[in-house]
Amino acid sequence: MSKLLRKPVQKELEQGVTLIHEVTSENSSLEYVRFKMIDLAPGAAYSEKLGNQECCIVALTGKINVSDGEVNFEEIGTRESVFEKKPTDSVYVSNDRTFKVEAVSGARVALCYSPSEKQLPTKLISAEDNGVEHRGTGNNKRMVHNILPDSDPSANSLLVVEVYTESGNWSSYPPHKHDQDNLPEESFLEETYYHEMNPQQGFVFQRVYTDDRSLDETMAVESGDMVIVPAGYHPVGVPEGYTSYYLNVMAGPKRIWKFYNDPDHEWILKR
């Protein structure tokens, strides 16, 4: 039984609100990253009071209204499927606030959390604010939507990105890690992956491993699954005929993304 692979739970929290995933420090080895995925029926609402943590609310699909009791953002969200491959809208809410998410249409919403003590302004991260990057060469190409990168000072700890990897390609590759607080060479960041595939019956392979192999898991990941990365290298391989999407959440003691490539495979970058 994998300790890192999570299947959807499909648990009704209240009428019209279905919990798909929940990752906490109580049910995982993660200290800095929490994650929740919910589905909302049209008109349904979900509320939560944040303690000493911040939250990035990502309108994965559908349209939603978001409020922190003072600031309101209405009808945000840009797509019905993540495979429209266009950025979406998100809202950052700081610690010690209460937020409410209401579905205008049927919606899937990602709630990305990390520890926070310094209160910052609630902020709409519009689709237009997402930096779009094309990374890699050859069979190592992917497209990235930077929702909350380390260059954006809007958060205290959270980093949030979306990644698309086409058929027959690899992502998070060559294998890299960020599990040592050793700046400027490497930063310590925990990470979660929420995966979807197109067509939906597809799968990807993800390996999570450390140099000493004390952690070494290779998983067949299906659409809607999550993978937890507490440490180690974490490449993703996409079979022919399918497109991969994943939502990454990262957090650690310092809000800097500085990764270290596996020396055994770094030669690939020098071809």
User: Is there a contact between 52 and 117 (Cβ–Cβ < 8 Å)?
Assistant: yes
Name the pTM for this structure. Answer: 0.97
The label of the residue with tokens 């399918």 reads: 242
Q: What are 156-213's pLDDT values in tens digits?
A: 999 999 999 999 999 999 999 999 999 999 999 999 999 999 999 999 999 999 999 9
Is 143 exposed, middle or buried (CB count within 10 Å of its CB: 0-12, 13-18, 19+)? Answer: middle
Domain tally, the chain: 1
Domain of residue 214, CATH code: 2.60.120.10
User: Is there a contact between 257 and 190 (Cβ–Cβ < 8 Å)?
Assistant: no
Q: What are 217-227's pLDDT values in tens digits?
A: 999 999 999 99
Radius of gyration from C-alpha coordinates of the chain: 18
User: Is there a contact between 176 and 262 (Cβ–Cβ < 8 Å)?
Assistant: yes
Beta-ladder partners of 93: 55
Phi, psi of 266 (to 5 degrees): -65, -20
53: left (phi over 0), alpha (psi -120 to 50) or beta: beta
- Which structural domain range is residue 217 located in? 5-270
pLDDT in tens, the chain (271 residues): 689 999 999 999 999 999 999 999 999 999 999 999 999 999 999 999 999 999 999 999 999 999 999 999 999 999 999 999 999 999 999 999 999 999 999 999 999 999 999 999 999 999 999 999 999 888 999 999 999 999 999 999 999 999 999 999 999 999 999 999 999 999 999 999 999 999 999 999 999 999 999 999 999 999 999 999 999 999 999 999 999 999 999 999 999 999 999 999 999 988 7
